[in-house]
Amino acid sequence: MLLARWSILAAGALACLAGTAAGAENTAAEPAPKLHLGWLERDFKLSWEARARHPELIVVGDSIVERFEQAGRPVWDRYYAPRNALNLGIGGDRTEQVLWRLEHGNLAHLDPKLAIVMIGQNNGGHNTAAEIAEGIGAVVRTLEDRLPHARILLLAIFPRGQAYNPERAVLAEASARASRLADNRRVFYLDVGRIFLRPDGSIPAALMADYEHPTALGFERWAEAMEPTVAELMGDQPRAGSIARR
């Protein structure tokens, strides 16, 4: 099955190269896999779990999401595992890789109550704010189409870099543009990025040691800030330890 997956992956990559050669306007909105064995193995694992687990909550994204399985494990186990959640994060992914995964198995047989989306940070430096927002929009529309009963919580892209920098400005503009996708019926938007910032705009190492990925404390702060909205959209009670119960 892994070999078959590799064949699909290779075909997808060739199609993407053909599209680029033909002058595709926005790479962020064109589904594109990675020809990398580790990526393929992770993608295959997620597609298998999607079929086997029938989760009620999915979290879609890049390494920020995937690291819920490492530094964020205690937070995941407290807030999301009891909700039968599935982590659909792969490190290094841009919007185009997520799009490909959503169209090629990661959503197979799923019917969750809620899909949380955190994607776009890795598009910084490669795409304009408008292009990133278009890529995020494609991800959201794919989730709407393939998960007709799910609500979607779109998160603003987290800040990156110890101090304010031009890439942060691009990502912030992309998030602002993407926020227009929210209709507050099926698609909801939440910006919790400020929890990682000091008043001067710098990021403390205690929350993001590499100024990009949350630490254990950073994951805790993130979950606390998101929990009231997640509980409301899931139709359940806020989990113990959230700001909703303090």
Domain that holds residue 229: 2-245
Rounded to the nearest 5°, which phi and psi values hold at 190?
Answer: -145, 130
The 3-state DSSP class for residue 85 equals: strand
Count of structural domains, the chain: 1
Active-site residue (options: 43, 47, 213, 242): 213
Is 63 an active-site residue?
A: yes
Per DSSP, the residues of 41-73 read: HHHHHHHHHHHHH--SEEEEESHHHHGGGTTTH
The domain that contains 32 carries what CATH number? 3.40.50.1110
Going residue by residue through the chain (246 aa), what tens digit of pLDDT does each one get? Answer: 445 444 555 555 555 544 544 456 899 999 999 989 999 999 999 999 999 989 999 999 999 999 999 999 999 999 999 999 999 999 999 999 999 999 999 999 899 999 999 999 999 989 999 999 999 999 999 999 999 999 999 999 999 999 999 999 999 999 999 999 999 999 999 999 999 999 999 999 999 999 999 999 999 999 999 999 999 999 999 997 644 444
Give CA separation, 170 vs 23, 126, 173, 177, 179, in Å: 23, 11, 5, 11, 14
For 30, residues 6+ apart whose C-beta sits below 8 A from its C-beta are 16, 19, 24, 96, 99
> pTM for the full model?
0.90
CA 138/CA 31 separation, integer angstroms: 9
CA 175/CA 135 separation, integer angstroms: 11
CA 14/CA 12 separation, integer angstroms: 5
Is 210 an active-site residue?
A: yes
Active-site residue (options: 63, 179, 202, 236): 63
Is 213 an active-site residue?
A: yes
Active-site residue (options: 77, 111, 145, 210): 210
